[in-house]
Amino acid sequence: MLGGLARWLRMLGYVTEYDSKAEDSILLRNSQTPDTVLLTRDEELYNRALAKRIHSVLVLGDTEEARLGQLARTLGISLDIDMAATRCPECGGELHEISKKEASSVVPAKSIELYDRFWRCSNAECGKTYWVGSHWKQIRHTLEEARKRTSLEEKELKC
């Protein structure tokens, strides 16, 4: 249910586990550490987590902007991407910067011409390569909309 949100949280630098096939009992067991927050859209799972005193959030938004805004408001997460902290959106592995030469074997030639910085996932099973390309316009837009939703909802709560 929240695979897209997991990708966003990883890009924002948060260690995020996502398994769409995990049973509720496993999710609850894996969420019992003090520094873990269980995110779910399943009201029953959320209530079970609360009963077990597991820190959890019932994610309500219908869009990524709304969901990110809710998490920024309720958990205080930052909606700013810091490439030094960003994790692989696919697997959550750490990213490390690589040279253009290293990237040239997997990145389209036009992107090698246009962009100077590239990052590769350190997880050998993943190994995806990333760069701040034209898609970042949409990424910035999504984060800006999430920030706006956070501010609007905070204003509504103060009335």
What tens digit of pLDDT does each residue of 12-64 get? Answer: 999 999 999 999 999 999 999 999 999 999 999 999 999 999 999 999 999 99
Q: Distance between CA atoms of 80 and 13, rounded to whole angstroms?
A: 9
> What integer pLDDT is reported at residue 112 of this predicted model?
96
By residue range, what is the domain housing residue 49? 1-80
In a domain, 43, yes or no: yes
Tally the C-alpha atoms within 13 A of residue 9's C-alpha that lie toward its C-beta: 23
pLDDT confidence of 154, banded at 50, 70, 90?
low
pLDDT tens digits, residue range 109-141?
A: 999 999 999 999 999 999 999 999 989 999 999
> What integer pLDDT is reported at residue 158 of this predicted model?
47
In a domain, 32, yes or no: yes
> What integer pLDDT is reported at residue 92 of this predicted model?
96
Q: Which two tokens stand for residue 60?
A: 């309500």
In a domain, 86, yes or no: no
* pLDDT higher than 80, residue 156: no
Rg (C-alpha) for the chain, rounded Å, is 18
Paired strand residues for 87:
94
Q: How many CB atoms lie within 10 A of CB 87?
A: 22
Query: How many structural domains is the chain composed of?
Result: 1
In a domain, 88, yes or no: no
Q: Distance between CA atoms of 8 and 64, rounded to whole angstroms?
A: 8
> What integer pLDDT is reported at residue 152 of this predicted model?
59
In a domain, 145, yes or no: no
In a domain, 116, yes or no: no
In a domain, 126, yes or no: no
* pLDDT higher than 70, residue 153: no
In a domain, 140, yes or no: no
